[in-house]
Amino acid sequence: MNKENAWLKYNDEEKQKIFELSEGYKKFISECKTERECVDEVVRQAKELGYTDLNDYIAQNKELKAGDKVYATNMNKAVALFVIGEEPLEKGMRILGAHIDSPRLDLKQNPLYEDTEMALLDTHYYGGIKKYQWVAIPLALHGVVVKKDGTIVNINVGEDDNDPVFGVSDLLIHLSADQMQRKASEVVRGEALDILVGSMPLKGEEKDAVKANILKILKDKYDIEEEDFISAEIEVVPAGKARDYGFDRSMVMGYGQDDRVCAYTSMKAIFDVDKTDKTVCCVLVDKEEIGSAGASSMHSMFFENTVAEIIALQGNYSDLILRRTLQNSFMLSSDVNAAYDPNYPEVMEKKNSAYFGKGMVFSKYTGARGKSNSNDANAEYIAKLRKILDDNNVTYQTAELGKVDQGGGGTIAYIMANYNMEVIDSGVAVLNMHAPWEITSKVDIYETTRGYKAFLENIN
Ligand code: MN
Ligand code: MN
C-alpha cells in the first residue's frame, strides 16, 4: 500500500502553487506564535473575505442566510468560522477542527528576580517538552499584560532584527560531569528554565539594581509595574522566522507547527468555500497541549453555544435541533502526526507510519495502552472519506503514532465525538514534534489543504 510520493504528481507549474501556499504558511507561523496572535490573524483574514462577527447578527437579531459568512471568537484564544449552507442546519455540518496553542515556556505570575546581579524571569513550561531542547537558543517574549484598569498591553520582543532576544542558559560541558549522568528528563530541570533578561545595574540603586533597571525599562516602554505580571500571559517562544528546510526547499522549519499547520490548512480550505449545501465550519481552539481543559479549550461550551446562536438566528431554535445538528455533523479533527524519522526507526512500525511526501495523514485512533481514551473512527466513515479523497486525487496515508506501547498521544477528536458525530483524526506529518523547531513537508501541507477542501465540499 505504499503510494507514490505526492511531489511526482505535479509538473513545475503546479509545484509553484505548492511553494506559494507554503510562503503564506511560513508568514503565518512566523507572526502567530501564541493562540491570541493566531485568533487575531485568522479574524483579520476572515474579515477581508467578507466574514462578519456573529455578535453583530446577534445584536441586531439579523437572520442568517445561506452564503453568509460569520466568525465567533472566545476570550481571544479560540475562533470558529462558518459559511452558512442552503440545507437546514439540523442536517448536520462539515467541521474542521484544530488547535492553536503550542508547547512553550510561560512566565510565572511573580517572575522577576535578581541573583548575583543578573535579572531573570521564572517560567513554568506549558505542554509536553523535552526541557533540554529549550536552553541555549534565542527566545522571544509574546503575550499580554492586562492592567487593573483593563488596559491590554501587547508584548512582542525578540522577532524584529533590531530586537534583543532572551534565553535559558545551559551548563558548560567543562563542568557537566554530574549533569551528563542524569537521565534525559532531568538533564535540565523545570525550575532551571529561567530566562536571563538583564545584567546592567541602575545607578544610585542600592538593592537589586539590575532588577530595578529592568523594571524601569518596562515602565518606560510599556507603562507596566512589577505587580502587573500577576495579570499577564507572556509566552516564551523560539525567536525567529520559519525557514525553508533542505537543499530542495521541500520542507518548512518553524515553531508551533503542532498544530498551526492544521489550523492554517483548515483556514485556507474554508476560505475557498463561498456557496455550500451543508453549513461548513472551521474551529480553532486553545489548551489542547494541556489536556483540552479550560474555557478556551475544545471542552468548553463555546462551540455548542455558538452553534445554538446560529440556529436561533435562522429562526427555529430548539434543544432538539441543536442536538440533531451536532449529531448529524462530520468532523476532521486535525492534528499533526509523527513523521517517520530515519534517525529513530526503533520507535516506528513502518507499515503504519506517516511519511513526508505521502500526503494527508489519517489516524483511525490515537491513544496509548490499547487505544485508551481515543476516538476510534468508524470504518463506514473512513470508507466515505477514501472515496472523496480518491475522487479528488488527494494523496493521503494512514498512520499510528509510533509502535504499539511505545507511547502515544491524544487530540480533540474524542471531545467532539461525544456529540455522537462522525470524527476522525487527520493532519500533517511533523518531524521534531514539540521541539522548538519542527519540520513539515510542503507537499503534505498542500495535499492536506486540498483534502480539507474536498471534505468540506463533499462529505455526506
Ligand atoms: Mn497537536
Ligand atoms: Mn502536541
Instruction: Give domain status of residue 123, yes or no.
Output: yes
**Residue 53: which CATH number?**
3.40.630.10
Residues 83 and 142 grouped into a single domain: no
Measure 19 CA to ligand 1 centroid, in angstroms: 24
Residues 449 and 304 grouped into a single domain: yes
Measure 264 CA to ligand 1 centroid, in angstroms: 13
Instruction: Give domain status of residue 244, yes or no.
Output: no
- What average pLDDT does the segment 408-422 reach? 91
Residues 298 and 423 grouped into a single domain: yes
CA angle 167, 147, 139 (to 5 degrees): 10
Say if CB 298 and CB 331 are below 8 A apart. no
Q: Number of folded domains in the chain?
A: 2
Asked if residue 374 has pLDDT above 90, the reply is: no
Residues 262 and 232 grouped into a single domain: no
Residues 299 and 400 grouped into a single domain: yes
Residue 173: partners with Cβ closer than 8 Å, 6 or more residues away: none
β-bridge partners, 154: 144
Measure 283 CA to ligand 1 centroid, in angstroms: 14
Separation between Cα atoms, residue 21 and residue 259, nearest integer Å: 17
Q: Among all chains, which residue has been given the C-alpha cell 500571559? A: 233
Confidence (pLDDT) at 367? 79
Pairing of strands 52-53, 69-74: parallel
Residues 316 and 223 grouped into a single domain: no
Helix (H) or strand (E) holding 414, with range, is helix 413-417
- Ligand at minimal distance from the CA of 432 is 2
Say if CB 285 and CB 274 are below 8 A apart. no
Residue 103, burial from CB neighbour count under 10 angstroms (0-12, 13-18, 19+): buried
β-bridge partners, 196: 120, 167
Measure 374 CA to ligand 1 centroid, in angstroms: 14
Measure 382 CA to ligand 1 centroid, in angstroms: 21
- What average pLDDT does the segment 237-253 reach? 98
Measure 301 CA to ligand 2 centroid, in angstroms: 22
The parent domain of residue 332 ranges over 6-102+255-458
Residues 98 and 110 grouped into a single domain: no
Q: Which residue from 21, 426, 28, 17 is spatially nearest to 260, judged by alpha carbons?
A: 28
Residues 116 and 222 grouped into a single domain: yes
- The last residue of one of the domains, among 238, 273, 290, is 238
- Ligand at minimal distance from the CA of 411 is 1
**Cell numbers at residue 378, please?**
468508524
Measure 336 CA to ligand 1 centroid, in angstroms: 6
Mean pLDDT score across all residues of the chain = 97
Number of CB atoms found within 10 A of residue 65's CB: 10
Secondary structure (3-state) at 448: helix
Local structure of residue 397 (DSSP, 8 states):
E
What's the chain's length in residues? 460
Measure 144 CA to ligand 1 centroid, in angstroms: 23
Residues 209 and 189 grouped into a single domain: yes
pLDDT band of 444, cuts 50, 70, 90: very high
pLDDT band of 251, cuts 50, 70, 90: very high
Q: Which residue from 161, 118, 116 is spatially nearest to 140, judged by alpha carbons?
A: 161
**Residue 219: which CATH number?**
2.30.250.10
Instruction: Give domain status of residue 243, yes or no.
Output: no
- pLDDT over 70, % of the chain: 100
- The last residue of one of the domains, among 178, 208, 238, is 238
- The last residue of one of the domains, among 238, 265, 282, is 238
Instruction: Give domain status of residue 272, yes or no.
Output: yes
Instruction: Give domain status of residue 329, yes or no.
Output: yes
- The more confident residue out of 380 and 406 is 380
Residues 195 and 312 grouped into a single domain: no
- Ligand at minimal distance from the CA of 427 is 1
Maximum Cα–Cα distance for the chain, whole Å? 74
Confidence (pLDDT) at 408? 79
Measure 220 CA to ligand 2 centroid, in angstroms: 37
Asked if residue 2 has pLDDT above 80, the reply is: no
Measure 70 CA to ligand 2 centroid, in angstroms: 28
Measure 127 CA to ligand 2 centroid, in angstroms: 7
Instruction: Give domain status of residue 249, yes or no.
Output: no
Measure 434 CA to ligand 2 centroid, in angstroms: 6
Secondary structure (3-state) at 304: helix
Confidence (pLDDT) at 410? 80
Residue pLDDT, tens place only, 127-168: 999 999 999 999 999 999 999 999 999 999 999 999 999 999
Residue pLDDT, tens place only, 41-98: 999 999 999 999 999 999 999 999 999 999 999 999 999 999 999 999 999 999 999 9
Measure 427 CA to ligand 2 centroid, in angstroms: 12
**Cell numbers at residue 432, please?**
521534531
Separation between Cα atoms, residue 416 and residue 428, nearest integer Å: 20
Measure 173 CA to ligand 2 centroid, in angstroms: 31
CA atoms within 13 A on the CB side of 377: 27
Measure 385 CA to ligand 1 centroid, in angstroms: 21
Measure 288 CA to ligand 1 centroid, in angstroms: 7
Predicted TM-score (pTM) of the model is 0.97
Instruction: Give domain status of residue 396, yes or no.
Output: yes
Residues 231 and 320 grouped into a single domain: no
- What average pLDDT does the segment 248-256 reach? 98
Confidence (pLDDT) at 316? 86
Measure 129 CA to ligand 2 centroid, in angstroms: 9
Instruction: Give domain status of residue 61, yes or no.
Output: yes
Say if CB 298 and CB 285 are below 8 A apart. yes
Residues 208 and 301 grouped into a single domain: no
Confidence (pLDDT) at 364? 94
Q: Is the dihedral of CA 222, 226, 227, 232 positive or negative?
A: positive
Secondary structure (3-state) at 35: helix
- Ligand at minimal distance from the CA of 335 is 1
Local structure of residue 430 (DSSP, 8 states):
E
Separation between Cα atoms, residue 23 and residue 41, nearest integer Å: 16
Confidence (pLDDT) at 457? 98
